Every structure is written in structure tokens, then in C-alpha cells.
Amino acid sequence: MRASQFLIATLKETPSDAEVISHQLMLRSGMVRKVASGLYNWLPAGLRTLRKVERIVREEMDRSGAQEVLMPAIQPAELWQESGRWEKYGPELLRVRDRHNREFCVGPTHEEVITDLVRNEIQSYKQLPANFYQIQTKFRDEVRPRFGIMRSREFIMKDAYSFHSNMDSLQQTYDLMHKTYCNIFDRIGLDYRPVLADNGSIGGNSSHEFHVLASSGEDDIAFSDSSDFAANIEMAEAIAPAGERAAPTAEMTLVDTPDAKTIAQLVEQHGLAIEQTIKTLFVKASEECEAEFIALLVRGDHDLNELKAEKLAQVAAPLEMAEEEAIKSLIGAGPGSLGPVNLPIPCIVDRTVAQMSDFGAGANIEGKHYFGINWDRDVALPEVADIRNVVEGDPSPCGTGTLSIKRGIEVGHIFQLGQQYAKALNATVLDENGKAVVMEMGCYGIGVTRVVASAIEQNYDDRGIIWPESIAPFSIALVALKYEKSEVVREQADKFYEELTSAGYEVILDDRPKVSPGAKMADMELMGIPHRVVISDRGIEAGTLEYKGRRDAEKQEIAIAELNDFISRTVKK
């Protein structure tokens, strides 16, 4: 490609509303442009990268034996009503009507459509397992699109759905997809981790997210420092502290704490270590409980894990915190003064809390706390459960090592759906005995557009993007200085351009007239082209060209006669 014939839409200044680095650099390098909130144009350079990601995904999916299909972006309401999700999905599902006033939605995902297809086309267990995938535009009407294409409303996703006559077969395909995803992210060249994830309300046995590690990530991932263990913080078990609970040393005393409405204030005003405090959270109780609310207790510096709490039988799902008014009318004290002593409602304490001695907590009297509380002596120890988020330094639940926590960008998610959709849509096959059985399903997604952004989050410097070679829009930038004026430069540049292109390299020849050397080089660096060759009068006179890799600190001089050899040694096709 000749730069003079190619839209190089680079910007010197960073658009003011771009927050994260990938968004800034995709705008500055002319990869994308915003059309409206959460909607983007892909410009030629960006699209080349996007297509390369797609190609890698497609090749690896094909290699795994999956079959590519293409489903419509617009889906009839009937299928969603059949699965029950027309009601459940909420405002993220963009609903539209056609000219006959029939209802449709813009697909955020395709379980319904694929299940409908498969129930019509597959009748026998002999046709299973089957795995169908597509690479297609999705729409989710996000509450708050942000970070450019990282969380946009319209995005491209590779979604795959597998069908099975039994769970063993599902597990096999699931494992195969796990491996396939590792192959895909390895080939792209990302620093990523498969992590244990929640499978949400869907159920099923197993779920993994694939996270690209980057400080701008929106998820917290817990890792063991000495094993492969990695889990979304939502899922990481906080194991009970080792050893016995220390014996009481303090008397329980009632303390006036009129100005301590938060744990932070309590600690500051009364000289208590935060590890000696507990916080008491009131949440809606489930039908299982007699009371309307149930209290959950975690250590002052710990956070409640909503997902873990929701899974407790006594807690209503979805988790709902009590209103301040409701607490006051029930206890007579506000949220800042709650604690386990003389608590009139049921209570569940975190494992760590159960091991604490001589701790401070609200007295359930407005403006008062008890200090020196001890379980059993002062108040009976209630039911104990794991209800907090793990923190840095916790022992790993796998048994070896301690946990550290990093930020991740979720680029892939695989999970076992089981029979949820197949049952709702009555998707069955005949088994060996001629009996209809509901199919088991798995589903496997990769956020293709998000992969592009996350690659930048991991690979950039102060000059711009540094694409992994596998997905760079071009692999070699031939920068021809004074192309329009110098005949020798023009001849040499055209010659190399032809040779390298016909040898199969993706080359962009910067032949733009009247663009200064500095501007050409700055643009090629901003656009993240991995290899750069400069052709100039000065070099040709000396019989050399200058080569610089995008990550190299130093340029090197290459003899003109050596260039083709040098490139074939240095550049991956």
C-alpha cells in the first residue's frame, strides 16, 4: 500500500474525551473515529488490524473443528419470548419494530437463534457433538459506554455454541475451547490468563474468563504467587485464617462514638486498629428467613462479596441493601452504629470475623459502639460463611502460595450452559435408544474489537502504538524521504516495495509528497508499524538503508544489497 493512496488520519493532539491509552492512541493513530456514544467507524488502518484478529480467531476455531455460520443481527422477539429472556434481559436489549409492527431485537448474543437452528436441523445423537461459531456485530445498549471500543455498544464478537448429547461430550469440547482460546491469545501475542469465573444465573459446572492483564482493566483477578491458580475476585475463596481464635483479653465496654459514622472515622477517632473492627451490613433476607433482613458481618477493612452473599440460602437474590430508614425503624439506630451484640435479626459472619477477639462494633444504639467484644463470652457466634472479597496477601485457596491481585480486561469467556436454552426451546435429539433427550450446550465468546484495544493497553510507548507483529496493520514501513523529488530514492523505494510485496510482506510505502521526514517517521511510529526502513539520498550514496524495529533503541545501517536477506531473517510474514 502506498501511503499517498491510503487514509492516514493521524492527530497530533489527543482528543479531550479519551480517557484510556488505547482509546487515545486509536483516535490519534487514525484507527477509529467515534460516530455516537458507543458507536465507532473503523478506518482503513484499524480495520486491517481488526481483520487480522478475526483471521487468527477463525483459523484456530476452524482448526478445533468448529463450523462457521452467520446469523442475523436482528432477531425476532418470539425466540426471546420462548427462552424467557425477552422479559428478563432489561434495557440493554435494544428492541425495535418493523413496518408490520412486529417486535425484534438487535442481538446482544445468539443462544436463541442458534438453538432454534440446531433444533430444526439436528435430529440424531450421531450428528453430535457439533460446534457452530460466527464472527458478527453485536449490540448491547450499555448503561455507560466508555473507554472507546473497550466498552462500546456495538462491537464485534466471535461467539460459538456447542451441542452435545451428554455432559462428558460437553466437557470435552469445553476443554478443547479452553485450549483453542489459549492458542488464539498466544498467537496474537497477548499477556493473558484464563481465570475461574462465575457462571452467573445460568448454572453449569465450569466457567473461565480470559483476561488480558492491564492496569486499565475493569476486573480484579486474584493470582497465586506459586501456582497456576487464577480467579476472578468474585470467585476466589477467602479461606479461614489458620489457628485458633485468641482468648479474650479485654472487657466489653460501651463507648460513646457520636461522630463515628464510618469505619474510617471510628478508627481515626478512637485509636482502634481497622483489623479490630467489624462492619455490619443489612441486606434483604430470602423467604427462608423469618426476618425481613439479615445482617452480614465482615472485618472493617474487608469488602462484602456480593456474589458469595447472594448464594447464601438466607439472602435474597439479587442482593439488596437495606434502606437507611428501614434500619432505623427496625433497630432504632442508624447504619453507622450496627453490630452483632443485641441484634434482633439473624446474622451471618465472615470466616475472618469468626476468628476475631476483642473487636469493636456498633452497639445498635445510635452513636454508641462496643469495644472489646468477644464471641461466645459476649455474644453467641452466629453462622459462619465466606462472604468477603479476597485481598492481597490472603492464602491462595488452591493451598499453595499467597494471592496477589491484578487488573484484567475480559477478552474471552467460555462456559457450560447445560440444558437451559435447549430445554426452553425444546431442542432434543434421539439417543441410542430412540428416546428424545434435551441437548447439552456450551458457549464460547471472544470480544474481537476489545482484543484490539487490549493489545494496545499492553503495547505502547510515548510515541504511540506498538502492535504485536501478528496484528499490525502493516508489518514494514518503507519511509522514502523526498520521494517526489529524488529520482534515486524513488527508484530504490519502488523496487523494494515491489520486491517485498511480492515476497508476501505487508508493506506501507510512505511516498507522501511534501511531508517532512520527521512527520513520516512520527506517523509510522504512532501507527505502531513493527519494522521501519528509511530510504534516503544520503543512505543510497553510502550504499545503505536504515532499519529500526519499533521497540529498538538504536537504528542500524543495512547494505542495500542485503536488505532482502535482512528482512527475511528479521520480519515474520
Partner RNA sequence: CGGGGCAUAGCGCAGCCUGGUAGCGCAUCUGCUUUGGGAGCAGAGGGUCGUAGGUUCGAAUCCUGCUGCCCCGACCA
The full DSSP string for 359-382 is: EEEEEEETTEEEEEE-BTTTB---
Binding mask 453-482 for RNA (x = CB under 7 A): ----------x-----------------xx
Which residues touch 69 (CB under 8 Å, ≥6 apart)? Answer: 114, 117, 132, 133, 134
Say if CB 147 and CB 19 are below 8 A apart.
Answer: yes
CB-wise, 62 or 392, nearer to RNA?
392
Regarding 551 and contact with RNA (CB under 7 A), the answer is: no
Regarding 538 and contact with RNA (CB under 7 A), the answer is: yes
Query: How much helix, strand and coil, in percent to the nearest 5, is found in the chain?
Result: 30, 30, 40
From the CB of 197, what's the least distance to RNA, in Å? Answer: 16
Regarding 249 and contact with RNA (CB under 7 A), the answer is: no
CB-wise, 145 or 397, nearer to RNA?
145
From the CB of 539, what's the least distance to RNA, in Å? Answer: 4
Regarding 7 and contact with RNA (CB under 7 A), the answer is: no
CB-wise, 212 or 477, nearer to RNA?
477
CB-wise, 333 or 414, nearer to RNA?
333
Stretch 282-321 residues interacting with RNA (CB under 7 A): 282-283, 303-306, 321
Position 566, amino acid: F
Q: Is 189 left (phi over 0), alpha (psi -120 to 50) or beta?
A: left
Stretch 145-184 residues interacting with RNA (CB under 7 A): 145-147
Regarding 13 and contact with RNA (CB under 7 A), the answer is: yes
Segment contacting RNA by CB under 7 A, of 53-61, 101-109, 164-172, 513-521: 513-521
d(CA 552, CA 309): 50
Element (H, E) at 17: none
- C-alpha distances out from residue 377 to 250, 303, 546, Å: 11, 26, 79
From the CB of 417, what's the least distance to RNA, in Å? Answer: 26
From the CB of 65, what's the least distance to RNA, in Å? Answer: 40
From the CB of 127, what's the least distance to RNA, in Å? Answer: 44
Q: C-alpha 305: how far from its chain's center?
A: 19
Regarding 217 and contact with RNA (CB under 7 A), the answer is: no
Cell readout for 288 is 427462608
Regarding 15 and contact with RNA (CB under 7 A), the answer is: yes
- Cα distance from N-terminal residue to C-terminal residue, the chain: 16
From the CB of 437, what's the least distance to RNA, in Å? Answer: 40
Regarding 539 and contact with RNA (CB under 7 A), the answer is: yes
- C-alpha distances out from residue 402 to 133, 395, 409, 500, Å: 38, 4, 22, 51
Say if CB 484 and CB 505 are below 8 A apart.
Answer: no
Residue choice 99, 144, 551, 572 for contact with RNA (CB under 7 A): 144
Q: Which SS3 state, helix, strand or coil, does residue 549 take?
A: strand
Regarding 519 and contact with RNA (CB under 7 A), the answer is: yes
Residue choice 37, 67, 81, 137 for contact with RNA (CB under 7 A): 37
Residue choice 398, 522, 549, 562 for contact with RNA (CB under 7 A): 522
Regarding 263 and contact with RNA (CB under 7 A), the answer is: yes
Mapping DSSP onto H, E and C, the string for 201-253 reads HHCCCCEEEEEEECCCCCEEEEEECCCCCEEECCCCCCCCCCCCCCCCCCCCE
Residue choice 316, 385, 409, 521 for contact with RNA (CB under 7 A): 521
Pairing of strands 359-365, 368-373: antiparallel
Cell readout for 132 is 457452530
Regarding 389 and contact with RNA (CB under 7 A), the answer is: yes
Regarding 530 and contact with RNA (CB under 7 A), the answer is: no
Pairing of strands 154-164, 359-365: unpaired
Which residues touch 301 (CB under 8 Å, ≥6 apart)? Answer: 263, 274, 275, 277, 391
Regarding 224 and contact with RNA (CB under 7 A), the answer is: no
CB-wise, 129 or 300, nearer to RNA?
300
> Residue count at the site for RNA (CB under 7 A)?
64
Regarding 559 and contact with RNA (CB under 7 A), the answer is: no
Which residues sit at the interface with RNA, rule CB under 7 A?
Answer: 10-17, 19, 28, 34, 36-38, 143-147, 261-264, 279, 281-283, 303-306, 321-322, 324, 327, 335-336, 338, 362, 389, 463, 481-482, 484-485, 514-519, 521-523, 525-526, 534, 536-539, 546, 548, 555
